[in-house]
Amino acid sequence: MRLGEPFTIYANPAPLLLSRQAAFPGLVSLGGGELLAMFSIGQAFDAADMRSHTCRSRDGGRTWSAPVPMHGGTALESESFKPVRLPDGRLLATGYVFERPDMVTPIVDPATRRILPLVTKAAWSSDDGATWSVPRPFDADAPLELSGPALVTSDGRLLAAGAPFHLGTEGHEGWLIESRDGGGSWQRLSVFYRSPGGRVAPWECRLAELGPGRIAVLFWAYDTAADRNLDNHLVLSEDGGQSFGPALATGIMGQASNLMPLNLTPPGESEILTIHCHRAPPVSLTLRRLALTGEVREEADIFTAEAMGAATGNISAQFGSLKFGQPSLTRLSQTEALAAWWQVEDCQHVIKGARIELGSA
């Protein structure tokens, strides 16, 4: 595994004249070296005008167009969406919005830890992301933190993973939801994780299919009662997501993370490529080649920087001090992938990327 130099997908082109802070990127390959990036831009990291935008690369991620708004909706909502290619060729963006009563009310009340209303939404594009429908709400039976893209399985279903989002000290669990109509309607398929008493919140959930019927979920595990981060947890299903085995505590002390299938045969030797935000010392954004037993077989730091760390302990303080996050992995070919993430650079929230040489297929 070899890393290329990090590059910028988007940064505010006029930071002395206006504030345009970018975060929460997701990428989808359109084929032929063309990529679409989707991320949010607003006046500040948690601003009420944080709206989804898209930009495009036609040379495998080496250069990028200027971002344009994803849609023309006018509701006062802060948005986060991620794209995926559907079997019929359309693109689907899923995610959520926080409904904002005004421009200055924070998402999390610092005194009560209550959050503003969260609504899951979806949007579609029939022209490779040039235009999108206005995102519309869908009923997921709970306000789910769908911060990662949906997964298209080998049998044509759509799966998405998230936790009913709240900051209480109990009642947390991770849900897998399913759609069989291209994202128009969703039903809960299973609970992939619940700790005793529901004290541990599974946040920033990311999905991968590791073979027909074999579904993996990687997530940030946070003990809400003790106000502390745990190591990243991984759960596996062997029946298409209908049930999951016990969670594997990976020993990797990361928060927001992601995964991509690597070598899947024979099943006992399956490997995944993972990327982890480490916001407590030693601070880094790190890639790992990981066996499904939790064994780390190779690792490489995209960056290390203690100054990029976040506050520890109280989750409100952590959320308010984030300096990088939501890493993603997009396969470009059998031997190459692209990592993307947001970070603070020169006092600006920007979208970054790095190419990864995976070695022989």
Q: What is the pLDDT of residues 118-145, one digit of tens each?
A: 999 999 999 999 999 999 999 989 999 9
Average pLDDT of the segment spanning 110-118? 92
Beta bridge partners of 173: none
Per-residue model confidence as pLDDT tens digits over 292-346: 988 999 999 999 999 999 987 788 888 889 999 999 999 999 999 999 999 999 9
Sequence ranges of the domains in the chain: 2-357
For 100, counting Cβ atoms within 10 Å of its Cβ (0-12 exposed, 13-18 middle, 19+ buried), the class is buried
DSSP 3-state of 139:
coil
Q: 3-state DSSP helix/strand/coil percent for the chain, to nearest 5? A: 5, 50, 50
Going from the C-alpha of 10 to that of each of 71, 226, 343, 350, the distances in angstroms are: 19, 37, 11, 6
191-224 pLDDT, tens digit per residue, is: 999 999 999 999 999 999 999 999 999 999 999 9
> pLDDT by residue (tens digit) across 234-262?
999 999 999 999 999 999 999 999 999 99
Note the pLDDT of residue 142: 93
pLDDT at 64 over 90: yes
Reported confidence tier of residue 32, pLDDT bands at 50, 70, 90: very high
State the DSSP code for 39.
Answer: E
Residues 6+ apart with CB under 8 A from 86: 92, 152, 158, 182, 183
**pLDDT tens digits, residue range 280-290?**
999 999 999 99
Length, in residues, of the chain: 361
Measured between alpha carbons, how far is 209 from 216 in angstroms, rounded to an integer? 6
Say which range, 20-29, 179-188, 219-228, 262-271, has the weakest mean pLDDT: 262-271
pLDDT (tens digit per residue) in 346-356: 999 999 999 99
Q: What is the mean pLDDT of the chain?
A: 95
pLDDT at 360 over 70: no
> Is the four-CA dihedral 186, 189, 193, 194 of positive or negative sign?
positive
Q: For 150-171, what is each residue's pLDDT tens digit?
A: 999 999 999 999 999 999 999 9
Token pair 């070598």 is found at 263
- Of 332, 202, 343, which Cα lies nearest the Cα of 260? 332
Report the alpha-carbon distance of residue 137 to residue 132 in Å, rounded: 15
- CB-CB contact of 328 with 27 (8 Å): yes
Residue pair 51/40 in contact by the 8 Å Cβ criterion: yes
pLDDT reported for residue 314: 80
pLDDT of the residue at 171:
96
pLDDT at 270: 84
The lowest-confidence range among 4-8, 56-60, 265-269, 318-322 is: 265-269
How crowded is residue 59: how many other Cβ atoms within 10 Å of its Cβ? 10
Determine the Cα–Cα distance for residues 274 and 193; give it in Å rounded to an integer.
20
Local confidence band at 267 (pLDDT 50, 70, 90 cut-offs): low
DSSP 274: E
CA distance 350 to 85: 25
φ, ψ of residue 257 to 5 degrees: the values are: -145, 175
Could you tell me the CA-to-CA distances from 336 to 218, 253, 275, 317, 329 in Å, in that order?
22, 26, 15, 37, 10
C-alpha closest to that of 205 among 155, 160, 254, 246: 160
Distance, in Å, from the CA atom of 237 to the CA atom of 214, rounded to the nearest integer, reads 5
Query: Sign of the C-alpha dihedral, residues 92, 176, 157, 293?
Result: positive
Determine how many CB atoms are found less than 10 A away from the CB of residue 165.
18
Q: Are strands 151-152 and 136-137 parallel, antiparallel or unpaired?
A: unpaired
Does the pLDDT value for residue 359 go beyond 80?
no
Q: In the chain, pLDDT over 90 holds for what percent of residues?
A: 91
Residue 162's Cβ-side half-sphere holds a number of Cα atoms within 13 Å equal to 27
Arch. (CATH architecture) of 2-357: 6 Propeller (2.120)
Strand order, beta sheet including 257-261: 257-261, 271-278, 284-291, 296-304
What lies within 8 Å, CB to CB, of 257 at 6+ separation is 204, 206, 218, 219, 220, 232, 274, 275, 276, 277, 327
* Res 266: pLDDT: 61
